[in-house]
Amino acid sequence: MISAFKAHIRQKNLFDAQNTYLLACSGGVDSMVLADLLLKSGIPFELAHVNFQLRGKESEDDAAFVSSWAARHEVTFHLHRVDAEAFSETEKISIQMAARELRYQWFETVRKSHKLAGIVLAHHEDDQIETIFLNLLRGTGLDGLQGMADRKGMLIRPLLPFSRQEILHYAGAESINWREDSSNQKTDYKRNKLRLEALPKLYEISPDAKSNLLASLARIKDSAKAFGGLYEKWLRETIRQENETFYLPLGELIHMPGAVSLIYLWIRSYGFNADQAFSIYQAAKSNEVGKLFSSGTHLLNLDREELILMPKSPDFEAVEISANDIELQLPEGNYELLKLTTPITLDKARKNAMLDLDQLEFPLEIRNWVQGDRFVPLGMRNAKKVSDFLIDLKIPLAQKSKVKVLLSGGKIAWVIGLRIADWAKYSEASSRVLYLKQKSNA
């Protein structure tokens, strides 16, 4: 096994012998075999063990066992004691999820503080099969069916090509001692139930199931790479970005094969889930213009011809502008406040505003527009509700919440970035102008 292990880590370029790594070591057969393999392969590493205090003396003995091994082999040892049960109750998650979260957080803390090159985990071939089945049961889609990667970010799994049987055989041949975790035999946990009951039945029904599953896994990974490449190309050619807002033209999207998957791949990193991707697709097909979808951090608006994705706006607190201010900072950008005397060239850009300074009453105020706001848009005679004005301009629903107004003496002088009020306009009769000019990003 040592030869196969060395060949595998060399082929996958998993380690650099000039660096030191952190091996997560429970004391079980998998991590103890991996410690032996790393040692014999000349890979520098340190050991990390978490005592979750779930099995009393057994947990303490596990920690002592790993510590003793580290001392005998002159390997730096890191121990972390944590109350997994208390954490699970506080966070209202299962013990298994609590333990996983706690150990990975701590591993990363140790890795960073000791400047280690990666976190080495002892997951093997049988763990991979269990993971794929569990992901299938959870409905995680194509990503879940690819299983665990040999390397992902700082996580390194060099035992994935090796079965538990090979690991046990190596441990026996090399006289490697390990600790048995009694909780691994409990069928209270879904993974244990799958390993101890479901998979043996499957292998009994189909003796070739394991090899066929692994062959399918290889094909799925290859297909996923191909699909990922096509997706990235489609994304580059299709998505338009303005600041933090993204626009996806509907066009042919709703008729494309795999449209739901394309939408999901696009929005998942913004906190949306697969069910929402399907709902977005259905809404687009049904032309439900104006429908709004929300994640923890973002909004997605179905507009007439495109999907619009933007970050949620933090609550905006009203801002006052005094007569002496020369600069204004808004989430949408920074503005220069210039006081000019006429005549000057009119700036017609909607993002900027030229207002008759003598008509304004300081301090000015900027706030979000609210229902009931009215103003007389430039060039009109009659007042109009801001809500109706935004509808007339076909401002997407998600963007409406970001619209702000500039007020003078309680009257709207400018719907910022869209239209000034007729009463506040700069004209030939004006002698002084307040010029609100948005600064360039450069």
- Domain-wise residue ranges, the chain: 2-213, 239-311, 319-438
Distance CA 442, CA 330 (A): 16
φ/ψ of residue 133, rounded to 5: -65, -45
Which of these CATH numbers, 3.40.50.360, 3.30.420.10, 3.50.40.10, 3.40.50.720, describes 319-438?
3.50.40.10
Helix (H) or strand (E) holding 7, with range, is helix 2-11
- Whether 182 has a pLDDT exceeding 80, the answer reads no
DSSP string over 310-352: EEPPPPPPPEEE-TT--EEEETTEEEEEEEEESS------TTS
Least confident piece of the model among 47-51, 186-190, 291-295: 186-190
- Whether 316 has a pLDDT exceeding 90, the answer reads no
Least confident piece of the model among 174-188, 227-241, 394-408: 174-188
387, two tokens: 């809500």
Distance CA 95, CA 192 (A): 14
φ/ψ of residue 284, rounded to 5: -65, -40
Return the higher-pLDDT residue of 170 and 210: 170
Give yes or no for a contact between 107 and 22, defined as CB atoms under 8 angstroms apart. yes
Give yes or no for a contact between 334 and 438, defined as CB atoms under 8 angstroms apart. yes
The stretch 262-283 carries a mean pLDDT of 92
| SS3 call for 62 | helix
CB proximity list for 332: less than 8 A, separation 6 or greater: 402, 404, 416, 417
φ/ψ of residue 419, rounded to 5: -165, 140
Please tell me the predicted confidence (pLDDT) of residue 31.
94
pTM here? 0.65
- Whether 315 has a pLDDT exceeding 80, the answer reads no
Q: How confident is the model at residue 188 (pLDDT cuts 50, 70, 90)?
A: low
Annotated binding site: 26-31
- Whether 36 has a pLDDT exceeding 80, the answer reads yes
The stretch 84-98 carries a mean pLDDT of 83
Please tell me the predicted confidence (pLDDT) of residue 442.
46
How many residues are there in the chain? 442
Please tell me the predicted confidence (pLDDT) of residue 54.
75
H helices of 185-285, in order, are 190-193, 199-205, 209-238, 259-267, 274-285
Please tell me the predicted confidence (pLDDT) of residue 441.
63
Q: Output DSSP code: residue 433.
A: E
Distance CA 166, CA 114 (A): 33
Across the chain, mean pLDDT equals 89
Give yes or no for a contact between 260 and 293, defined as CB atoms under 8 angstroms apart. no
Give yes or no for a contact between 395 and 403, defined as CB atoms under 8 angstroms apart. yes
Helix (H) or strand (E) holding 96, with range, is helix 95-113
Q: Which amino acid is at 297?
A: T
Please tell me the predicted confidence (pLDDT) of residue 344.
79
pLDDT (tens digit, 9 = 90+) per residue, 206-254? 888 888 888 888 888 888 888 888 888 988 888 998 878 899 998 878 8
Give exposure, 239-276, as e/b (b: 16+ Cβ within 10 Å).
Answer: eeeeeebbbbebeebbeeeebbbbbbbbbbebebebeb
* Residue (of 173, 186, 155, 205) closest to 21 by Cα position: 155
- Hunting for tokens 């091994």 — which residue is that? 69
Please tell me the predicted confidence (pLDDT) of residue 116.
97
Annotated binding site for ATP: 26-31
- Whether 46 has a pLDDT exceeding 50, the answer reads yes
Return the higher-pLDDT residue of 208 and 184: 208
Distance CA 159, CA 307 (A): 43
Q: Which amino acid is at 153?
A: G
Q: Considering only the top CATH level, what class is 2-213? A: alpha beta
- Whether 189 has a pLDDT exceeding 80, the answer reads no
- Whether 142 has a pLDDT exceeding 80, the answer reads no
H helices of 114-177, in order, are 125-138, 141-145, 164-173
CB proximity list for 116: less than 8 A, separation 6 or greater: 19, 20, 21, 22, 46, 110
Give yes or no for a contact between 35 and 173, defined as CB atoms under 8 angstroms apart. no
The stretch 319-342 carries a mean pLDDT of 89
- Whether 45 has a pLDDT exceeding 80, the answer reads yes
* Residue (of 400, 405, 419) closest to 319 by Cα position: 405
| SS3 call for 367 | strand
The stretch 159-170 carries a mean pLDDT of 94
Please tell me the predicted confidence (pLDDT) of residue 187.
67
- Whether 412 has a pLDDT exceeding 90, the answer reads yes
Please tell me the predicted confidence (pLDDT) of residue 322.
93
What is the distance of C-alpha 187 from the center of its chain?
A: 33
The stretch 60-74 carries a mean pLDDT of 94
Q: How confident is the model at residue 91 (pLDDT cuts 50, 70, 90)?
A: confident
| SS3 call for 153 | coil
